[in-house]
Amino acid sequence: MKRNYLYILFWVCTLFGVSVSSARSEILPPTGLAAKTFQHEIFLTWNADEANAWEVVVDDRSPIRTSTPQYTLDSLVHNRQYTIKVRTIKGEDFSTFAVLQATTQNIQKAIDAPDRIPYLRTIRIDGITPKRLPLYFNDLANEKACITYKFNGHPITPIDNHLHLSSSAYKDKLEINIDEGEGRRWHIVYLISLER
Amino acid sequence: MIKPLISFLCLFTLVACNPIETDWLSPLKVGTEDVREITLHRLSTRQIILEGGNGKYHANIADSRIADIKLRQDTLTIKALLEGETFATVLSHDQQARIAVKVTYPELSFSTDSIRLYPKDQSKFVSLFGGDPFVKIIENDPDDILDVKWNGNTHLLEINAHYEGEAEITARAQSGDEKKIKVLVKAEDEPREWGIYGTGYRSFGQSLSITNLMVVHRPSVGTWISSVANPNGGFAFTYTGTVLKIDPIADPREGTYIDLVLTKQAGPNVEISPGVYRVYVEKVTDSGVMLRSRRHKFYLPYDKTSIKP
């Protein structure tokens, strides 16, 4: 009789174990994880693979959940290697991580070069600007710099590292004050046209 | 009976011929101030009240081509006819006064003493009055902003302005007499955004010498103007961006001249060439300084070094 109980327990455990391991094996880590690096951002993409939720982990930062198979990591330090892990989420379960290492680009000019000018790489070169403008800079040496914005003369505060711009004018004036500390200050004025 | 009559006549004759009698007449005076010289412009007239003498006057002029003289009771009228010098004589009893009459060309004068023009506007005409036939027009136009045509027959000065700036036109007669007219050429507005503008336009709206899509001011280092949204230049679909750098401008003072150093950092040439520009400081405000060279206007940020943060 005791032997029969053990036998049943064995099969229950076996079955349970099989069911758990089979559930985990059904959730596969994202494939095709790729990174496009900038000076302060890394743009990640991966294959959707019929999933609709993922978790992105960068170094020791808090995990970030996303419902699209892409994500932009911002406010990164230039010229630094980051370990990026992405896993698929299904309900309460998740896959193992797909892992990638990427290094942000270096700034183009030396920190103390007099002609180094931080600028928004997200404003098109001809001045066309998205209404939701990502604040992604090039040649910004200190990503913790104090940066303030004015749009058509009025102060404007970024939301999620974006400026939300609205205007019916043909040309708009975007002013940016950057203070990196140690006397490195810039006042930048763009005359932009918002995307229609 | 005849004897007393003869005695009376003799006495009367003696009294009448007594030279002391003229002392009773007050001295002949030409006007209250007894003028001895009159200067008149051609075709002008002057009237003078004669005083003294016996109240009866005669007058004549030495050269009637130069001036005409008329006397009506005690009023002497002299009319200038031709440039030159002569003299008039006024007689009253046995007194006479000699008056030098000088007829000169009319005094120079412009119909206005200052005018304001817009660049590339229609010509403006200014009348010049007076002066001799040899009036010279002298332009003080250091920035070469004006085109001035003088028509001696019509006495009209035609002024055409090409660029913003200030100039002075002087009309100088052979006598040395001169009159000046100030010419201010200014657009109808002022640049509102930092940038470099041409001064040969009525408005600054469309007169950019380089598109000011991006302007960067870095204190103590300088100002960059980029025609694209990248301070390093770049290709913008149909054109290549140009970046100009202007050396820092420290504490500019209105009404002074400073040297502005312009260098090209990237891209093709634009309307303004790199180099050193001698510029006039027109206006200084908190938001920028307005500078003017011969052909350009610069509205730029500047460093306030004297004001400590």
Residues of B whose CB is below 8 A from A186: 216-218
Residues of A whose CB is below 8 A from B237: 125-126
| Boundary of a domain, candidates A50, A74, A103 | A103
Report the b/e string of A22-40 with b at 16+ CB within 10 A.
eeeeebebbeebebebbbb
Closest CA to A100 of A73, A65, A74: A73
Confidence label for A37 from pLDDT (cuts 50, 70 and 90): very high
Q: Check CB contact of A126 with chain B, cutoff 8 Å.
A: yes
Average pLDDT rounded to a whole number, residues B251-277: 95
Residues of A whose CB is below 8 A from B213: 126-127, 190-192
What is the enclosing helix (H) or strand (E) of B15? helix B2-16
C-alpha pair distances (Å), B242 with each of A24, A55, A113, B213, B234:
58, 44, 20, 10, 8
Average pLDDT rounded to a whole number, residues B243-263: 96
Token code pair at residue B294: 């011969």
> What is the structure's pLDDT at B248?
97
CATH 2.60.40.10 domain span(s) along chain B: 109-185
Q: Which of A71-85, B228-242, B271-285 has the lowest mean pLDDT?
A: B228-242
Q: What is the CATH number of the domain that holds A30?
A: 2.60.40.10
**Scanning every residue of chain B, which has its alpha carbon at the shortest distance from the alpha carbon of A191?**
B213
C-alpha to C-alpha distance for B284 and B299, rounded to whole angstroms: 10
Q: CA Rg, chain A, in Å?
A: 24
Residue A120, class by beta-carbon neighbours within 10 Å (0-12 exposed, 13-18 middle, 19+ buried)?
buried
Residue B264 has φ and ψ, to the nearest 5°, of -95, 130
* Total domains in the fold of chain A: 2
Please tell me which residue, B143 or A71, carries the higher pLDDT value: A71
Q: Which of A170-179, B43-52, B252-261 has the lowest mean pLDDT?
A: B43-52
A83 and A137 assigned to the same domain: no
A99 and A131 assigned to the same domain: no
Which residues have C-beta within 8 Å of that of residue A80, sequence separation ≥ 6?
A103, A104
C-alpha to C-alpha distance for A35 and A22, rounded to whole angstroms: 31
Share of residues in chain B with pLDDT > 70 (%) = 91
C-alpha to C-alpha distance for B150 and B133, rounded to whole angstroms: 12
SS3 B13: helix
Residue A117 and residue B218: Cβ atoms within 8 Å? yes
Residues of B whose CB is below 8 A from A190: 213-214, 229
Q: Residue A132: give the domain boundaries.
A: 119-194
> What is the structure's pLDDT at A49?
81
HEC sequence for A88-151? EEECCEECCCEEEEEECCCCCCCCCCCCCCCEECCCCCCCEECCEEECCEECCCCCCCEEEEEE
DSSP assignments along A23-46, one per residue: HHHHSPPPSS-EEEE-SS-EEEE-
Fold of B31-104: Immunoglobulin-like (2.60.40)
Q: Tens digit of pLDDT for each residue in B36-65?
A: 999 998 888 999 999 998 889 999 999 999
Token code pair at residue B40: 């008149």
Nearest CB neighbour to A125, from listed B224, B234, B245:
B234
Residue B228 and residue A120: Cβ atoms within 8 Å? no
| Residue A169 · residue A192 · CB < 8 Å | no
Closest CA to A51 of A104, A108, A89: A89
- Strands (DSSP E) contained in B35-164 are 37-41, 45-53, 58-61, 67-72, 75-80, 84-92, 95-104, 109-110, 114-117, 124-129, 136-140, 146-151, 156-161
Q: What is the CATH number of the domain that holds A145?
A: 2.60.40
Share of residues in chain A with pLDDT > 70 (%) = 87
pLDDT at residue A23 greater than cutoff 60: no
pLDDT at residue B308 greater than cutoff 50: no
CATH 2.60.40.1080 domain span(s) along chain B: 31-104
With a CB-CB cutoff of 8 Å, which residues 199-238 of chain B face chain A? 212-219, 221, 224, 228-232, 234-237
| Residue A195 · residue A128 · CB < 8 Å | yes
Class of domain B109-185: mainly beta
SS3 A14: helix
Asked if residue A44 is part of any domain, the answer here is yes
Q: Tens digit of pLDDT for each residue in A74-122?
A: 999 999 999 999 999 998 899 999 999 999 999 999 999 999 999 999 9
Asked if residue A85 is part of any domain, the answer here is yes
> What is the structure's pLDDT at A62?
87
Asked if residue A113 is part of any domain, the answer here is no
**Scanning every residue of chain B, which has its alpha carbon at the shortest distance from the alpha carbon of A174?**
B214
Q: Tens digit of pLDDT for each residue in B85-111?
A: 999 999 998 899 999 999 988 888 888
A63 and A88 assigned to the same domain: yes
Q: How far is CA A109 from the centre of its chain?
A: 24
> What is the structure's pLDDT at A6?
44
| Boundary of a domain, candidates A54, A69, A103 | A103
> What is the structure's pLDDT at B10?
47
> What is the structure's pLDDT at A10?
43
Report the b/e string of B73-96 with b at 16+ CB within 10 A.
eeebebbbbeeeebbbebebeebe
What is the enclosing helix (H) or strand (E) of A18? helix A2-26
A98 and A132 assigned to the same domain: no
Closest CA to A152 of A143, A139, A165, A135: A165
> Beta strand A128-129 with A185-194: parallel, antiparallel or unpaired?
parallel
CB neighbourhood size of B67 (10 A): 26
Confidence label for B20 from pLDDT (cuts 50, 70 and 90): very low
**SS percent in chain B: helix, strand, coil, step 5:** 5, 50, 40
Q: Check CB contact of B193 with chain A, cutoff 8 Å.
A: yes
Mutation target among A111, A112, A117, A133 for the B interface, most CBs of B within 10 A = A117
C-alpha to C-alpha distance for A177 and B22, rounded to whole angstroms: 100
Question: Which residues on adjacent β-strands are paired with residue B102?
Answer: B39, B85
C-alpha pair distances (Å), B194 with each of A133, B187, B223:
23, 17, 10
Asked if residue A49 is part of any domain, the answer here is yes
A135 and A184 assigned to the same domain: yes
Residue B169, class by beta-carbon neighbours within 10 Å (0-12 exposed, 13-18 middle, 19+ buried)?
buried
Average pLDDT rounded to a whole number, residues B242-251: 96
Q: Is A160 left (phi over 0), alpha (psi -120 to 50) or beta?
A: left
Q: Look up tokens 């960068």; give the residue.
A: A58
Q: Look up tokens 């053990």; give the residue.
A: A6
C-alpha pair distances (Å), B269 with each of B28, B235, B239, B247, B292:
84, 14, 12, 18, 21
> What is the structure's pLDDT at B7?
56
> What is the structure's pLDDT at B108?
85
pTM of the model: 0.74
Q: Is B208 left (phi over 0), alpha (psi -120 to 50) or beta?
A: beta
Q: How far is B243 from chain A (nearest CA, A)?
A: 12
pLDDT at residue B1 greater than cutoff 90: no
Residues of A whose CB is below 8 A from B193: 173, 189, 191
| Boundary of a domain, candidates A103, A135, A152 | A103
